Amino acid sequence: MDDEAKSIDSHDAFCTDKIFHSKDDLVAWARQIGKSLGYVIIIISSQPRNGGRKARLRLGCERGGTYRLPKNIDNMDKLTHTKTGTKKIGCPFMLQGVKLEKDDEWLIKVVCGSHNHRPIEQFEGHSFVGRLNKEEDTLLFDMTKNMIKPRNILMAIKDKNSRNATTMKTIYNVRHKHRIVEKAGRSQIQQLMKRLNECGYIEWHRSNDMTNSWSVLMFSLCEDDYARNLSSISNDFKSYPKVLKYVEDIWLTPYKDRFVAAWTDKLMHFGNLTTNRAESAHAKLKRWLGSSQGDFDSSWKTIHSLIELQHIQIKASFEQSLNVVEHSFTPALFRELRGLVSRKALNMILIESKRANDVGIDTTLCGCVIRRTHGLPCAHEIAEFLRDFHPISLSTVHPHWLKLNLKKVQLSNDPFVVTIDDEISTIWSRFNTSDEAEKLALKRKLRELGNPTTTFLTPPLEKCKTKGRRSLKELYSTRRDPSYFEIGETSILKCETEFIGKSLSDKKGDKIPSRRSNRAMQFLDHFPLYIKPYVLGIFDVKADGHCGFRAIAALLGFGENYWKRVREDLIEELCNHRLYYVKFYGSPEYVAQLLEALSCSTVPAPYKNWMILPDMGHLVASRYNVVLVHISTQQCLTYLPLRTNPPLKSQHKIIVIGFVNNNHFVHVLLDQAAPIPPIVPNWKFSRLECAAGWYTPYLDRLRDFNALLQRHPNLSGEIINLDDS
């Protein structure tokens, strides 16, 4: 954990004078703010009114405090559930709610606003956030009674609430809870016998002892063991010579090096021993599809749901590895690995550590299998660490086990650049030598490659029978004809966009502090005169060349120390939509200049890497789906997203930055009804059609700003005619 993550201050986000009308409202508000910052807020204690003492409530981070053993256990080694762990790392964050004398009103105070750990990237896998509310619990119970599969229940819950962080484990746990209530204290066998007796069934059971010879053969540690185990199988199945010949000739002789441990343990495979990866994926997909009679659209929805569920499970496993420390890994030997290495890898290292006492530093006795196959420290390496009283070094673990997120991996510092210059040259050559019909066909294919929504691929024609009398019954054939390309003009293009970034909604009803520091008052003098009455607060950030990105990070709720994240997000925005921004900015060279300006992690940042407005303003608005307002004496402008549909008005988020001293950015709080500056002119001509509705909710505030300019004729600046926008 680096120094930047050791202490993250969220004091300002929770500092408010708002009066809450109930304890539940206070808790809900605190949890909402915490979740927006990447932290889970829980109730630590609740004290009722006692004599003259007011009722109080303490809230804290889910990772606060330390783990306490059960009362009947005095030693960690006596824990029966060895796979359990704890999230608690002593996070000092603390809020206190105090009940007022009037009605059921509450105030909240920040006791400690600092966290000693990073914010959460994915909430999947966090049990508290993943709890079902009453409505979702009722829905699960009703769907379970109607024999709906757990995976379909989970997808139904997530369709109703896209922010739901429930995982399959929660679904199974709640279903189990309902079954326990239904059984009313009876065991599974008692419940089964009760049902069988009620329905008049006769019960018996049968069991067969199965041989384990094949598994023993597959896990042979060396070639001598393999020969011995193969001889044992031949003796056990000597009455089936044809079967033995088939197994040896078709599988063992040509392919034993691909699945027998004596050969596979010589290669690094990270535990991936599947010989045909597609088979299990196909089997799971067929279980989800259920029927082969669906069309393309319904099949896509099912496949997409399957992939979404897999992503949820992967994210949950990542969060478990990052935040939950199993009790087995509390010894000092694992100190450098906790929270950084996958739990699966830690469990394998734990098994090797138990062998270390018997193996010692003898490499021959160790065998070093796990080092060769998984890239993890083996028994003799761990024995050396134990002998020197050192924890296992993180450098002994292969980077494969350190990848605990879904972010893209840069394979090298100087990656191979893929170009299509030769292919484009070939296409140009063919295009120039073709007739008009061939040119049109080439143009259509290139357009389809650039924009897949214009594809000419169509569903196959419905199969029709040409013999006999026409059937009066509906045809249920599952046979599909091959798809084909239809030559025709492209239909009207439809803009398909995705909602980018987190949903950042205004917290209505919060009272904004009216006090301003002396430094903030100095900054106020750098704003236009007509803006000053609407400024409610100015907050400074560190002046190190990254101040513009720090201000954006603070306004988005990340905290100003997350300026690197803002730079990375804007780089990702440019790269993911490079062709669009090349057209928007006019040239690929300028896009490359922006990428170079954004690519900076040094402190202080050189002048060439400072925030550039107005060009980077478009990136901020489009990346985070927010309205960005820029205020300074040189220019006052508003930036709207370029590519996305506007959300509901209640979900709009306005962030305001100010430019002062001609060299520094600050973040600003404006009155909720304050006029806002004109929209950047090129937004109107370059935005996608789907983004046209962004300016409508701000029409009155834009006109108010124009009215302010008209009342101050001495101020320079063009008055924008909103009727033309």
- What's the CATH code of the domain at 653? 3.90.70.80
Collapsed DSSP state (helix, strand, coil) of residue 660:
strand
Looking at the domain assignment, is residue 60 inside a domain? yes
Please give the single-letter amino acid code of residue 110: V
- Other beta carbons within 10 angstroms of residue 355's beta carbon come to 18
Do residues 556 and 655 touch, judged by C-beta distance below 8 A? Answer: yes
Provide the pLDDT for residue 493.
29
Residues 703 and 574 in one domain: yes
Instruction: List, for residues 428-487, the tens digit of each pLDDT value.
Output: 988 888 876 677 677 777 877 777 766 655 555 555 555 566 555 544 555 444 433 332
Residues 260 and 183 in one domain: no
Looking at the domain assignment, is residue 57 inside a domain? yes
Our CA dihedral for 221, 226, 230, 231, rounded to 10 degrees, sits at -110
Domain count, the chain: 6
Pick the last residue of a domain from 322, 343, 359.
322
Provide the pLDDT for residue 490.
31
pTM for the whole structure: 0.42
Residues 526 and 669 in one domain: yes
Question: DSSP alpha helices (H): ranges in 324-398?
Answer: 343-359, 363-366, 369-374, 379-387
Provide the pLDDT for residue 501.
31
Residues 677 and 703 in one domain: yes
Reading the block at residue 325, the tokens are: 């420390």
Provide the pLDDT for residue 454.
60
Task: Kindly write down the DSSP assignment for every residue of 249-281, as one continuous string.
Answer: IIIIHHHHHHH-HHHHTTS--TT---S-HHHHH
Instruction: List, for residues 497-509, the tens digit of each pLDDT value.
Output: 322 233 333 333 3
Write down the residue that tokens 């034993």 correspond to.
Answer: 256
Conformation bin of residue 642: beta by default, left when phi > 0, alpha when psi is -120 to 50: alpha
Write down the residue that tokens 């599988």 correspond to.
Answer: 251
Residues 523 and 669 in one domain: yes
Q: Euclidean distance between the first and final Cα of the chain, in Å?
A: 49
Instruction: List, for residues 71-123, the tens digit of each pLDDT value.
Output: 666 666 656 555 677 888 889 899 988 888 777 788 888 889 888 888 887 77
Mean pLDDT of the chain: 77
CA 444 to chain CA mean position, Å: 36
Q: How confident is the model at residue 327 (pLDDT cuts 50, 70, 90)?
A: confident
Residues 190 and 239 in one domain: no
Residues 260 and 180 in one domain: no
Range with the largest mean pLDDT of 4-13, 51-60, 269-278, 392-401: 392-401
Instruction: Please tell me the total number of residues recorded for the chain in this structure.
Output: 725
Q: How confident is the model at residue 376 (pLDDT cuts 50, 70, 90)?
A: very high
What is the spatial distance between Cα 199 and Cα 202, in angstroms, rounded to a whole number?
Answer: 9
Instruction: List, for residues 516-548, the tens digit of each pLDDT value.
Output: 344 555 778 778 888 888 888 888 888 888 899
Residues 74 and 101 in one domain: yes
Provide the pLDDT for residue 503.
31
Instruction: List, for residues 701-711, the tens digit of each pLDDT value.
Output: 888 888 887 77
Residues 558 and 637 in one domain: yes
224: pLDDT strictly greater than 60: yes
Residues 656 and 553 in one domain: yes
Provide the pLDDT for residue 362.
82
DSSP classification of residue 247:
I
DSSP classification of residue 561:
G
Looking at the domain assignment, is residue 201 inside a domain? no
Looking at the domain assignment, is residue 627 inside a domain? yes
Looking at the domain assignment, is residue 533 inside a domain? yes
Q: Where in the sequence is the domain holding 681, given as residue range(s)?
A: 518-724
Looking at the domain assignment, is residue 467 inside a domain? no
Looking at the domain assignment, is residue 302 inside a domain? yes
Looking at the domain assignment, is residue 427 inside a domain? no
307: pLDDT strictly greater than 80: yes
CA 281 to chain CA mean position, Å: 23
Mean per-residue pLDDT, 174-198: 73
Instruction: List, for residues 626-652, the tens digit of each pLDDT value.
Output: 899 998 888 888 999 988 888 877 778
Provide the pLDDT for residue 9.
84
Residues 534 and 675 in one domain: yes
Is the model more confident about 569 or about 50?
A: 569
Provide the pLDDT for residue 623.
87
Residues 698 and 588 in one domain: yes
